[in-house]
């Protein structure tokens, strides 16, 4: 089985090579520190005497979910080294900025046995924690063979992904059995893991770590927030292609009744910063990029394009109404908990499969406005600006849902402690400086 999997993975890599090369040339993807993906890692992640925990978080959303977990690990296990891997560059930048307790950050390796072995020799982890749903057979097999504990935390299997996993259930079951613990966000995901063949005694519902992510104020955000103080603000968060036009047109209509209003446009992906800026400039309104504020101070603007990573959550505090993107196009939606943390009214489109359980909890509590199409989104956003009492009700309800669902971090920490106890022999070996 490992040979067949590696052969198929190699074929897939060869088949994807032209597309990967195009992405690297056109958008600069995958070029940054590419050697790390082949197991050549920076010195600061090298294993040392004492236990090392390797945490893997694919991109921005997973890194943010891991923030309270890493803080709890640092609190309860200050002697542990924590190193973090990501798959995307934006995830890596976010990990550098937000996971300050980590000793080092690197790109997750390609899942070939010879590469994974190099990484394990370099990092020498005693425990691997994977955030959400990353299932890499060779990584799991080699960790298991070397006595390294492995947990899947904040696990989520979306409605869109589940049918695909069912097609390969027979292959997936033995891979899932290599996890020491599978910590699911919801009972729905737990049931799906069990149906896919995960051992029943290793699946537990711990809740979503996203509910426990703390609010913070990254350096420089205060100055941006001051530019938005005292004016109506429409925050278009994590937008994807096809949504920016809708939000810009909505904003143009909003300005008819509220000429002092501002639009904060936050594209999800950095490679779209330039194109979204050009799109906004075509309106004839005053447009400024967030990074330009550092060089020019605070020039007057109508539209602010947020072309930075890690500041969006904090700017939710300045919003009057928040639209969360990835939901008017069939992409599964993005995180609605960040505006909820500041008790802001939230509008989303019909596509929320990536956050189905969370969106369902908000809808049940009357804490979310979900619309069916762009026209309905425009109507609801404009109506909310005209109705402060409704905005207050929605915002308070959103914050209430957030508060009621906290506690996933401590439940997850208990599962980590159980695995650590079982793997205590491996931890003692690491503490003695034994090389695997």
Given the residues 62, 93, 380, 415, the one annotated as active site: 62
Do the beta carbons of residue 209 and residue 301 sit within 8 Å?
no
Structure tokens given for 93: 């930048």
To which residue do tokens 């505006």 refer?
339
233-239: strand order across its sheet = 287-289, 303-305, 262-267, 233-239, 321-324, 346-348, 369-370
Distance CA 243, CA 107 (A): 30
Distance, CA of 117 to chain centre: 27
User: 264: number of CA atoms within 13 Å, CB side?
Assistant: 31
Measured in residues, the chain has a length of 436
With a CB cutoff of 8 Å and minimum separation 6, the contacts of 370 are 347, 348, 349, 350, 352, 359, 363
Which element (helix H / strand E) includes 382? helix 374-385
To which residue do tokens 């420089």 refer?
220
Rounded (10°) CA dihedral 95, 100, 101, 103: 70
Got the DSSP string for 252-281? HHHHHH-TT-EEEEEESSGGGHHHHHHHHH
Catalytic residue at 62?
yes
- The total of other beta-carbon atoms located within 10 Å of residue 231's CB is 12
Distance CA 239, CA 339 (A): 15
Catalytically active residues, by annotation: 62
């Amino acid at each position: 089985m490992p040979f067949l999997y590696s052969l198929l993975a190699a074929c897939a890599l060869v088949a994807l090579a032209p597309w990967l090369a195009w992405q690297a040339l056109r958008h600069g993807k995958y070029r940054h520190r590419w050697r790390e993906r082949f197991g050549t890692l920076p010195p600061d992640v090298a294993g040392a005497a004492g236990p090392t925990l390797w945490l893997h978080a694919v991109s921005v959303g997973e890194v943010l979910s891991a923030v309270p977990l890493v803080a709890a690990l640092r609190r309860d296990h200050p002697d542990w080294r924590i190193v973090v891997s990501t798959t995307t560059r934006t995830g890596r930048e976010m990990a550098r900025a937000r996971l300050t307790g980590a000793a080092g950050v690197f790109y997750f390796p390609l899942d070939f046995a010879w590469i994974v072995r190099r990484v394990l020799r370099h990092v020498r982890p005693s425990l691997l924690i994977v955030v959400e749903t990353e299932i890499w057979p060779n990584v799991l097999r080699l960790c298991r063979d070397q006595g390294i504990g492995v947990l899947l935390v904040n696990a989520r299997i979306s409605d869109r992904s589940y049918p695909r996993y069912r097609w390969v259930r027979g292959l997936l079951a033995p891979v899932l059995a290599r996890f020491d613990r599978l910590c699911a966000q919801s009972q729905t995901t737990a049931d799906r893991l069990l149906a896919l063949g995960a051992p029943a005694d290793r699946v537990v519902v711990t809740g979503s770590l996203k509910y426990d992510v703390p609010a913070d104020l990254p350096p420089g955000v205060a100055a941006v927030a001051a530019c938005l103080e005292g004016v109506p603000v429409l925050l278009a968060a994590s937008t994807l292609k096809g949504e920016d036009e809708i939000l810009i047109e909505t904003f143009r209509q909003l300005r008819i009744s509220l000429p002092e209003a501002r639009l904060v446009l936050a594209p999800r992906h950095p490679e779209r910063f330039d194109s979204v800026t050009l799109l906004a400039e075509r309106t004839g309104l005053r447009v400024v990029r967030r990074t330009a504020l550092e060089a020019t101070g605070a020039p007057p603007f109508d539209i602010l394009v947020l072309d930075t990573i890690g500041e969006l959550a904090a700017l939710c505090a300045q919003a009057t109404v928040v639209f969360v993107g990835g939901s008017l196009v069939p992409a599964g939606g993005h995180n609605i908990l960040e505006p909820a943390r500041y008790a802001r009214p939230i509008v989303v489109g019909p596509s929320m499969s990536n956050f189905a359980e969370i969106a369902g909890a908000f809808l049940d509590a009357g804490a979310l406005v979900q619309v069916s199409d762009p026209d309905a989104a425009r109507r609801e956003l404009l109506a909310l600006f005209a109705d402060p009492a409704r905005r207050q009700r929605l915002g308070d309800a959103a914050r209430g849902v957030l508060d009621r669902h906290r506690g996933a971090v401590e439940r997850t920490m208990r599962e980590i402690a159980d695995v650590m106890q079982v793997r205590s022999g491996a931890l003692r070996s690491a503490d003695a400086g034994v090389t695997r």
